[in-house]
Amino acid sequence: MKKSIVIVFICIFMGSSFEIKAQYPPTKYGILPVWPQGWSFVDKENWYQMMSNKGMGSLHSIYTWPELEDIQDNGQLSLHVNYIAHLKNDYSFKFHLLIRNPSVTFNDVPIAYAGLTFEDTVLINAFYDFAIEMIDSFAIVLDYLTVGGESDVYFEIYPNEMTNYINLLSDIADYVHSNYPSIKFATTLTLNHGIQTNDTLWQLIKNFSDILSVTYWPLNPDFTVTSTVIDDVDDKIADLLSSAESKPIIIKESGLPSSPVSNSSETLQAQFIEELFRQTMDIDQIEIVGWDFLADYDKATVDYWVNFQQIYTPEFRAYIGTLGLMDTLGNQKQGYDIYLQMLDTVYSHNSVEDSFRIDESDGISLLQNYPNPFTQKTVIRYSLNDYTINDLRLTIYDLAGRLVRTFPITHSPNNPITKVVWNGKNDSGENVIAGIYFCKLKVGNKSSQTRKLLLLSQTL
């Protein structure tokens, strides 16, 4: 049923025209549009237009090998690619394709290869040929390609298949790099497990991967939400940056259920959205942050995922069935409004230009504060390569240019990178209002560097 609906949308698109206009520049953020029941094609195009105006900048599609084969066999592949091209060209979305073989605990293959595993050369060769065919077909719209969804979980269950799979990924990477160098390639791992707990697979594929692609689901093993979900976000992002080293990062999907059965609520879901924006918006190395989903799955789709993942607990059903920012009928949850507000915040944050150009020629470097935006405190780091520097000052100003806070500066050859912590207070110890501030590092009267800081108030 899902595939036939997609084809109907494409066919309508081919005979329709829409007024395209832009407002906010595209950002790294995107929502996977599981559609509310009853939305027409025009409703969906209007939503894309509205979100594009708000700065949504990415989309992703997920398919198994058999699902893509069905689209191909039905003669709909070119229409499908053309529709994605429309979304990219008219709404400025980046596009990420995930071929989810394997996916968590299961590897869905065509009937002709049923029973075979990645230990079998027949399956390896057939999958390679099909993957190359899909890459050639989607290449004109691809910005990112990952093969395997949460692969680390699968290969912990089936470790004997991992070596052959890594060789397969390496061969696919070689093809992509040789023929489509602008496409960034990897497999998708879990942040909680595949990076923080057991990064074996990442270490083995890192050399030929263009990006670190992860999913971020702050869940316990039983699919309930962790009790420290909000407080953990900054540490999770820090670990992600550490593991990626210099490679770009995409958070292919993130999300939080809103069901009490999952130890969650609509309020907690909204708080997680806000914190995820805060901790990622100012990190250029993170290129994509995806959210699953726009609307909750209907019962039939929940049943599909329960059977696909072969997890039959009430907690899993509640998790998979309440991830949307709307319910199945399109009634908005609290998180939807917060998501739109945070897109506004990103635009406001990015639209204010730094007052001074960063120039490290005088032996000083003011690094970007972290986290940014922040609510209670942020760490400001600076480095000094010239230890003879005198008259060094670190100050914070508000948007009107008024001095807010002055920090004492210390430095030594044994500690080239130094940090101060700003708690959102002025020199009199009073809390300042939420808004945009500037941190300036200045040497006498001849050199200065400025970074933009965004202090947010707690809205929830």
**Which of residues 307, 329, 351 is at a domain's end?**
351
**Which of residues 351, 379, 413 is at a domain's end?**
351
Which pair of tokens denotes residue 49? 């237009």
Residues 409 and 433 in one domain: yes
What integer best gives the mean pLDDT of the chain? 87
- Is the model more confident about 355 or about 149? 149
- Helix%, strand%, coil% for the chain, nearest 5: 40, 25, 35
pLDDT of residue 410: 67
Label residue 230 by pLDDT band (50, 70, 90).
very high
Residues 255 and 379 in one domain: no
The yes-or-no verdict on residue 247 having pLDDT over 50 is yes
Residues 375 and 341 in one domain: no
Q: What is the CATH number of the domain that holds 66?
A: 3.20.20.80
105-114: b (≥16 Cβ within 10 Å) or e: ebbebbeebe
pLDDT of residue 445: 61
pLDDT of residue 400: 79
Q: Quick check: 335 and 325 in contact, CB under 8 A?
A: yes
Label residue 248 by pLDDT band (50, 70, 90).
very high
Residues 347 and 407 in one domain: no
Residues 397 and 302 in one domain: no
The yes-or-no verdict on residue 56 having pLDDT over 70 is yes
Q: Is 98 helix (H, G, I), strand (E, B) or coil?
A: strand
Q: Quick check: 57 and 30 in contact, CB under 8 A?
A: yes
Looking at the chain, the number of H-run helices and the number of E-run strands are: 13, 15
Task: Quote the CA–CA distance of 458 and 460 in Å, as a whole number.
Answer: 6
* Residue bearing tokens 């395997």: 148
The yes-or-no verdict on residue 353 having pLDDT over 60 is no
Q: What is the largest CA-CA distance in the chain?
A: 74
Per the domain annotation, does 182 fall within a domain?
A: yes
Residues 167 and 256 in one domain: yes
Residues 37 and 128 in one domain: yes
Name the residue range of residue 428's domain: 364-455
Is-cis flag, bond preceding 106, omega within 30? no
- Provide mean pLDDT across the span 41-47: 95
Per the domain annotation, does 357 fall within a domain?
A: no
Q: What percentage of the chain exceeds 70 in pLDDT?
A: 87
Residues 301 and 384 in one domain: no
- Provide mean pLDDT across the span 418-428: 89
Residues 273 and 417 in one domain: no
Return the half-sphere exposure (C-beta side, CA atoms, 13 A cut-off) of residue 19.
Answer: 0
Other residues' Cβ atoms within 10 Å of the Cβ of residue 16: 11
Other residues' Cβ atoms within 10 Å of the Cβ of residue 197: 12
pLDDT of residue 414: 54
The yes-or-no verdict on residue 322 having pLDDT over 90 is yes
pLDDT of residue 7: 34
- Is the model more confident about 52 or about 367? 52
Per the domain annotation, does 356 fall within a domain?
A: no
- Is the model more confident about 10 or about 56? 56
Per the domain annotation, does 287 fall within a domain?
A: yes
- Provide mean pLDDT across the span 395-423: 79
Residues 127 and 184 in one domain: yes
Q: Is 160 helix (H, G, I), strand (E, B) or coil?
A: helix
pLDDT of residue 205: 96
- Is the model more confident about 147 or about 192? 147
* Contact partners, residue 134, CB within 8 Å, separation at least 6: 68, 97, 99
